[in-house]
Amino acid sequence: MFDHYPFNPNAVGNTQNNIFGLPFSEEEAQLIILPVPWEVTVSYGAGTSRAADHIYKASKQVDIFDVDGNRGWEKGFFMKEVDKRLLMKSDYLRKEAELYINYISKGDEVAQNKFMCKSLKEINEGNILMNEWVYNQTKELLQKGKLVVLLGGDHSTPLGYMKALAEVYGNFGVLQIDAHCDLRDGYEGFQYSHASIMRNALREIPAITKLVQAGIRDYSEEEWQEICNSNYRIISYLDQSIQHRQFEGETWKSIADEIINHLPQQVYLSFDVDGLDRKYCPNTGTPVPGGFELEQVLYLIKKITQSGRKLIGFDLVEVSLGQTDWDSNVGARILWRLCNIMVHNHS
Helix (H) or strand (E) holding 312: strand 310-317
Q: Is the peptide bond before 13 cis (omega within 30 degrees of 0)?
A: no
- C-beta of residue 123 within 8 angstroms of C-beta of residue 93: yes
> What region, left, alpha or beta, does residue 212 occupy, with left being phi > 0 and alpha being psi -120 to 50 degrees?
beta
Q: State how far the Cα of 242 lies from the Cα of 213, in Å rounded to an integer.
A: 12
300 CB-near residues (< 8 Å, 6+ apart):
175, 214, 256, 259, 260
The tens-digit pLDDT sequence of the chain (347 residues) is 577 767 888 888 888 899 999 999 999 999 999 999 999 998 777 889 999 999 999 999 999 888 776 788 999 999 999 999 999 999 999 999 999 989 888 887 888 899 899 999 999 999 999 999 999 999 999 999 999 999 999 999 999 999 999 999 999 999 999 999 999 998 888 999 999 999 999 999 999 999 999 999 999 999 999 999 999 999 999 999 999 999 999 999 999 999 999 999 999 999 999 999 999 999 998 899 999 999 999 999 999 999 999 999 999 999 998 778 999 999 999 999 999 999 999 98
Q: Is the peptide bond before 6 cis (omega within 30 degrees of 0)?
A: yes
Q: State how far the Cα of 33 lies from the Cα of 339, in Å rounded to an integer.
A: 9
- Domain extents for the chain? 19-345
Q: Using CB atoms within 10 A of its CB, is residue 220 exposed (0-12), middle (13-18) or buried (19+)?
A: middle
Name the DSSP class of 109: -
Q: State the pLDDT at residue 69.
A: 62
**CA nearest neighbour of 329 among 297, 282, 295:** 282
158 CB-near residues (< 8 Å, 6+ apart):
36, 134, 150, 152, 197, 270, 315, 317
Q: State how far the Cα of 149 lies from the Cα of 249, in Å rounded to an integer.
A: 36
**Entry field: residues in the chain:** 347
Q: State the pLDDT at residue 7.
A: 86
Q: State how far the Cα of 19 lies from the Cα of 233, in Å rounded to an integer.
A: 37
**b/e per residue 91-108 (b: at least 16 CB within 10 A):** eebbebbeebbebeeeee
Q: State the pLDDT at residue 1.
A: 59
CA angle 146, 134, 272 (to 5 degrees): 90
Q: State how far the Cα of 314 lies from the Cα of 138, in Å rounded to an integer.
A: 12
pTM: 0.96
CA 24: distance to chain centroid?
24
**b/e per residue 28-54 (b: at least 16 CB within 10 A):** ebbbbbbbbbbbbbbbebbbbbbbbbb
Which fold is adopted by the domain 19-345?
Answer: Arginase; Chain A (3.40.800)
Instruction: Tell me the DSSP string of 229-264.
Output: TSTTSEEEEEHHHHHHHHHTT--HHHHHHHHHHTS-
Fill in the amino acid letter for 162.
Answer: M
